[in-house]
Structure 1
């Protein structure tokens, strides 16, 4: 929902947000009750008292997006992690801390977030979509890395680093000790790009 700083969302924006939330909540409830593969988008729309066309208007990517919706939140969160990092913190340290506080690496997540994450991790159709949504942030992250390195545009090395950073949580979350795997991966990234 887009608003200007200090303003409150208008009636139309509030209604859109409520519809999105109703669809997302209905999807989560049905997926948990019956399993992701046993629920159709039509059933989700009916449970949220909307039309299927309305569902796709809010979630054009379809069924997977009902659980893993992204309206720029990931890119905004990555941007904040890099630009608002504490003084003396390297970019890679900030990104490491950012991912360590998310998803499968943090045991202190709010219940709703943990339930969604568990559903994603045990549903084969959702796992690749989750990775896809993060990989879509590669160009913006490369731009942030270039900015932090004092460059006008990212070079090939920074495009590679952006991809590695975004692949790391997916790879680490599949290891028996997820947090240790994430820590080790970022230790290697810091060795490869010590100036970041």
Structure 2
């Protein structure tokens, strides 16, 4: 029974991966706006009905949205060692996703496609907002703070921003690996992007 369940889950992962790969390949060939769900399903050798069992629309297939990434991230958040800082936990979560994309050989191709398509970028941002809400709730619970607290929300959202900035910079300067750019972004967040921040002091000087 357990072996049968494991086989079923592996088949689901394979089908999802096949659909995402077909969607990405077709989007690169034809442009994301000119790809249809029917073409993606046919390329992956599944029915249109099966496509919608895995993705709500073609954009999520092109983006390669995988619910396992969020599930693993939430589990990592819940089981992080007590001494691990919240930003460090987010670093591990981000690198976990990057490792998956690198193993699939899709990081650069998909990133360039997303950055060149306003629609895909919008869909990614909307999906990311939903992920961030769930991660923020989990981080707030871990930190013992209310969900309305600023700090957990800021940690999660700035970690996401560091990834988006890294992807954009990688597109313009492909010689720098995405991981390296992400790590630099996290280091800046940890150190404080602008330690000299002080609008009150500036206002006082302006009126003196």
TM-score (norm 1): 0.68
Matches of 2:112 and 2:75, distance apart in 1: 25
Give 1:94's aligned residue: 89
Matches of 2:167 and 2:20, distance apart in 1: 24
Pairs aligned (count):
181
Give 2:36's aligned residue: 40
Of the candidates 109, 113, 117, which is equivalent to residue 102 of structure 2? Answer: 109
Structure 1 residues without counterparts, runs of 5 or longer: 192-196
Give 2:59's aligned residue: 64
1:128-167 matches, cutoff 5 A: 128-151=122-145, 153-158=146-151, 160-161=153-154, 162-167=156-161
1:3-56 CA distance string (max 9 Å, x none): x9x664277656554443332232222223333233222222222333434323
* Residue 78 of structure 1: how far off its partner (Å): 2.3
Matches of 2:97 and 2:38, distance apart in 1: 31
TM-score (norm 2): 0.65
Q: Residues 14 and 89 from structure 1, CA distance in 2 versus in 1: closer, same or farther, beyond 3 angstroms?
A: closer
Give 1:194's aligned residue: none
* Residue 143 of structure 1: how far off its partner (Å): 2.2
1:73-101 CA distance string (max 9 Å, x none): 23223224433445632111221343356
1:100-151 CA distance string (max 9 Å, x none): 5654xx8x92252324344334433322222222211233222222222234
Give 1:188's aligned residue: 192
Q: Between Structure 1 and Structure 2, which shows a larger proportion of helix residues?
A: 2
RMSD over equivalenced CA pairs, Å: 3.5
Q: Residues 50 and 9 from structure 1, CA distance in 2 versus in 1: closer, same or farther, beyond 3 angstroms?
A: same
Structure 2 residues without counterparts, runs of 5 or longer: 196-208
Q: Residues 99 and 48 from structure 1, CA distance in 2 versus in 1: closer, same or farther, beyond 3 angstroms?
A: closer
Contact 1:27 1:66 in 2 (8 A): yes
